[in-house]
C-alpha cells in the first residue's frame, strides 16, 4: 500500500528518540514537511543531521507557557502525532504527587494543549499503550494516564470530527526503545509479558510506525475515535 504525504505539514512530539523519531523520519520519507518536537537539543541535532528537511523545535511539554510560545512558531499543520510521554514506574504505595503531576502533565495535558493548536482538517494520532486497558504492576500512574488519553482521543474524535479532523490512537505492547528497556530488560520479566502475547514477541518500532502512518493517511478516511492495539493480540485475551 503506497502512502504519500506530499504537501502535508506534520508535527511529531517526542521525536528525539524511539517511536517518535522513527515516525518523523518515515513521514519525511513519505514527502511530509515535518516539524520534530522534543526537549533534548542533542537529539534534534542528530535528527536534522539524518534528515535535513526536518524542522526542529526544542521545548519541554510539561511547561505550558513555553509550549504555547513554541507552537506559535510552528504554524498550521495537517498531521499531528502526540507521541511524547514519560513512564515513571513505581509501586502504587510509593507514588508521589510530583510523579503523578509530571506524568499527567506530559502524557495527557500536553496532548490536549498541542491538539488545541490545530484548526483545519487533517488527522491526529495519539500514542497510547496496551497499559490503558490492562493493569500492569508498578504502572499505576502510567496506566491511568494512558486510560485518560484513550478517552481524550474519543472525545476529540467526537468534537473535532465536524471540523474534518480525525483522531485515533495506537496502543502498542512493549517496544524495546529506551522507555521499553527501562521496564522490560530483565529476561524473566520480559517472558511474563511475551507469554501473554499470542504472537509471542514484543512489537518492533516499525510495527507501531506503520499503524501510525495508516491512521494519519487517507487510507483510513472513515476511521475516527478508535484505539488500535498494536500488541500481537495481548488485549484480545
Residue ranges binding ligand NDP (CB under 6 A): 14, 16-20, 38-40, 43, 60-62, 83-87, 106, 127, 129, 172, 174-175, 177-180
Which residues carry out catalysis? 142
Helix (H) or strand (E) holding 64, with range, is: helix 64-74
User: How far does CA 92 lie from the centroid of its chain?
Assistant: 24
Candidates 80, 81, 74, 78; CA nearest to 6 is: 78
Query: What are the E-state strand segments in the chain?
Result: 9-13, 33-38, 55-58, 79-82, 122-127, 165-172, 227-230
Grid cell for residue 193:
509479558
Shortest distance in whole angstroms from residue 149 CB to ligand NDP? 8
Cα distance between residue 19 and residue 167, in whole Å: 18
Decide if 124 contacts 82 (C-beta within 8 A). yes
Candidates 71, 3, 5, 12; CA nearest to 47 is: 12
Cα distance between residue 55 and residue 37, in whole Å: 9
Local structure of residue 27 (DSSP, 8 states): H
Amino acid at each position: 500500500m503506497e502512502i504519500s504525504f506530499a504537501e502535508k505539514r506534520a508535527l511529531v512530539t517526542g521525536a528525539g528518540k524511539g517511536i517518535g523519531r522513527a515516525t518523523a523520519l518515515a513521514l519525511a520519507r513519505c514527502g511530509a514537511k515535518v516539524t520534530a518536537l522534543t526537549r533534548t537539543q542533542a537529539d534534534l541535532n542528530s535528527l536534522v543531521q539524518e534528515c535535513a528537511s526536518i524542522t526542529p523545535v526544542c521545548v519541554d511539554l510539561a511547561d505550558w507557557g513555553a509550549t504555547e510560545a513554541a507552537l506559535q512558531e510552528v504554524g498550521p499543520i495537517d498531521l499531528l502525532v502526540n507521541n511524547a510521554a514519560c513512564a515513571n514506574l513505581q509501586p502504587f504505595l510509593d507514588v508521589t504527587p510530583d510523579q503523578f503531576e509530571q506524568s499527567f502533565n506530559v502524557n495527557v495535558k500536553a496532548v490536549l494543549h498541542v491538539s488545541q493548536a490545530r484548526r483545519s482538517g487533517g488527522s491526529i494520532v495519539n500514542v497510547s499503550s496496551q497499559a490503558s486497558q490492562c493493569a500492569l504492576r508498578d504502572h499505576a500512574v502510567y496506566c491511568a494516564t494512558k486510560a485518560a488519553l484513550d478517552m481524550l482521543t474519543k472525545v476529540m474524535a467526537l468534537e473535532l470530527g465536524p471540523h474534518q479532523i480525525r483522531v485515533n490512537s495506537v496502543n502498542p505492547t512493549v517496544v524495546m526503545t529506551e522507555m521499553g528497556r527501562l521496564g522490560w530488560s530483565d529476561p524473566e520479566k520480559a517472558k511474563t509479558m511475551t507469554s501473554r502475547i499470542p504472537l509471542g514477541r514484543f512489537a518492533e518500532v516499525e510495527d507501531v510506525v506503520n499503524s501510525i502512518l495508516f491512521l494519519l493517511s487517507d487510507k483510513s478516511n472513515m476511521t475516527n475515535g478508535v484505539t488500535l492495539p498494536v500488541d500481537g493480540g495481548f488485549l484480545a485475551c
